[in-house]
Every structure is written in C-alpha cells, then in structure tokens.
C-alpha cells in the first residue's frame, strides 16, 4: 500500500495530521528531529498515540540531512508528501536568520529533491500567512496580493515557495502550497499567543498588546487539518491556497475572551508594535472553498 510522508510530524499541526491520517487507515511515515526551539519532550508526547499504531513508521532525523532523507524515501512506495517541518517563530528569526533559511528553505529543497528522486508525484507544502507581510488590501488573495515578507521567517517561506515553483516547472509534479493563518488549538506551541496570554492571565501578570487595533485571522486546528486532507485529493499542477477563517478578530477581544473563560480579569497594557508583526492578517478563502470544498 502506498504511504504518506509527514515531515514535522511531532509538531502542533503535524501530530494532529498524523492522527487523522491513521484514523482513516492510511500508512504514514513520520519525520521529525525534535528541534530544541521549544522543549523536545512536548513533541515526544505529541506522537505517543501515533507510535502505538502499526501503520506509523517514525524516523528521527533532520531535513538538512539529504542522504538520510533519500534512504527513508527510497523503496518505501511513497505516494504523497506533506512537508510541515520548519523552524517557527517570527521574532526569534531576527536573532537566528541563517538557521531559518537553512531549515525552512534549504531543508525544503532537500525534502522535495529526495522525494522527486524516488518518484513521488504529489507534494503539499505548509507555508504561512506571514509571506503577505503588511498588506494594503482588505484580504489576502493567493493570486493577486503581493508577497511582502517583513521578517527572516517570512522571507524563508517565500524563498521556499520559489524553490518549489522552480522544481515543479522542471519536473511537472503536482504541488499544493498551503498558507496557514494563525492556527490555534490543543498542543499549540508554548511560544504562541494563546499559551502566553493564558499563562500571564492566570499568574496575574500584565498582558502586553502590540497595538490597540491589532487583529488576526484565527483558524482552529481542526479546520487546518480538514484543508490538508482535502488538498491530498487535489492534484492539478501547482496551486496555492489560503487556509484561514476569513474573519478578522481583534487580539484585544481574544485576550478578554480567554480571561472570561478562565474567570480572571486580564491586565492589558498596549505597547509598541513588534518588528516582523503585521497589524492584521485576513485570508480570502474563496479559492479553497471552490476547489477544496474547504
């Protein structure tokens, strides 16, 4: 039976995807290197359930090790690859830009070239809403909104998209680039907003709000997984899709809602907007609705 490779399988999104695929009876090869950007133990816990399945094969390795990637891909009857592995964190990317380009751009090239060499014909790549940067229009539209990265992280994703486009033009395989918009839910990384706000609210600390009117297109993890699963059935050359909610929510109102759910009145202090953070994100999801039934 053909298999699906999921890189970054132990991360927030990857672990949810692996579990969904296993529930569908699919055979999955997972790749992760437990990068120490946040505690490796969190990622190890994320895949505990998957490791109990006979349909899950796990490899601990870095996507920078192309030879080992080829070893995993070679002869494994792999039908599709979902490439989620990346070094996340917009603000952290300003401190370690070279590592971000190595992992997110060169690592992506390694995964795709290893897969191509082994005859894989369909790829799904996890990009980010951050590629749009500070937008001038109301909603980000895949085929018309200019890419305007304002952080090394965002630029590394733009470069990865360009590499994929070049490879697709050369080898003519099917590829879906999925731009995720502010994903939240169970197993969210500890450095992400919901987790940080919750911790500060519970401890009575002041929550810093980077701009009174900052807003985000918040997308539940369940919808992101639905989008990825739908993309696995969509093969039509190179296509780019936004996966978001299509709704703009004030970050301040989100903080207040978290406080309400916790039964604690949040202390909020408005501070200067951080570099690398756009004032808002908002996805047009018309294309995903039409072609993926998202």
Give catalytic residues, as residue numbers. 153
Rounded CA-CA distance 155/94 in Å is 11
> What are the beta bridge partners of residue 81?
5, 123
Residue 97 tokens, joined:
């830009």
State both tokens at 256. Answer: 């207040």
Q: Which helix (H) or strand (E) holds 175?
A: strand 174-180
Q: Kindly provide the residue ranges of all beta strands, DSSP E only, lying in 61-168, ordered along the sequence.
A: 78-83, 122-128
User: In terms of Cα–Cα distance, which of 122, 113, 114, 104 is closest to 159?
Assistant: 104
Q: List the one residue out of 172, 185, 125, 171 whose CA is nearest residue 5.
A: 125
As a whole number of angstroms, the distance between CA 192 and CA 92 comes to 12
Pairing of strands 206-210, 183-184: unpaired
CA-to-CA dists, residue 140 to 135, 148, 250, angstroms:
7, 11, 17
**Secondary structure in 3-state letters for 88-116:** CCHHHHHHCHHHHHHHHHHHHHHHHHHHH
Q: How is residue 77 annotated by DSSP?
A: -
């Amino acid at each position: 039976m053909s298999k699906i490779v999921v890189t970054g399988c132990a991360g927030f999104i990857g672990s949810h995807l692996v579990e969904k695929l296993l529930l569908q009876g699919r055979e999955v090869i997972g790749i992760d290197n437990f990068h120490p950007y946040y505690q490796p133990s969190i990622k190890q816990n994320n895949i505990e359930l998957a490791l109990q399945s006979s349909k899950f094969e796990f490899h601990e390795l870095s996507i920078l090790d192309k030879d080992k990637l080829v070893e995993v891909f070679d002869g494994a009857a792999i039908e599709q690859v979902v490439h989620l592995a990346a070094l996340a964190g917009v603000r952290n990317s300003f401190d370690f830009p070279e590592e971000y380009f190595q992992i997110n751009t060169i690592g992506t090239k390694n995964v795709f070239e290893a897969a191509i060499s082994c005859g894989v014909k369909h790829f799904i790549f996890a990009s980010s809403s951050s590629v749009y940067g500070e937008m001038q229009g109301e909603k980000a539209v895949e085929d018309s909104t200019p890419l305007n990265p304002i952080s090394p992280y965002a630029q590394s994703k733009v470069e990865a998209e360009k590499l994929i486009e070049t490879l697709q033009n050369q080898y003519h395989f099917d590829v879906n680039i999925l731009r995720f918009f502010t994903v939240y839910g169970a197993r969210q990384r500890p450095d992400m907003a919901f987790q940080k706000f919750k911790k500060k609210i519970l401890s009575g600390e002041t929550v810093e709000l980077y701009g009174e009117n900052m807003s985000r297109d918040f997308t539940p993890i369940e919808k992101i997984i639905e989008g990825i699963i739908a993309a696995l059935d969509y093969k039509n050359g190179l296509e780019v899709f936004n996966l978001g909610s299509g709704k703009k929510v004030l970050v301040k109102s989100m903080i207040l809602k978290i406080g309400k759910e916790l039964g604690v009145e949040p202390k909020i202090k408005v501070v200067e907007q951080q570099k690398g953070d756009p004032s808002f994100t908002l996805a047009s999801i018309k294309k995903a609705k039409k072609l993926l039934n998202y």
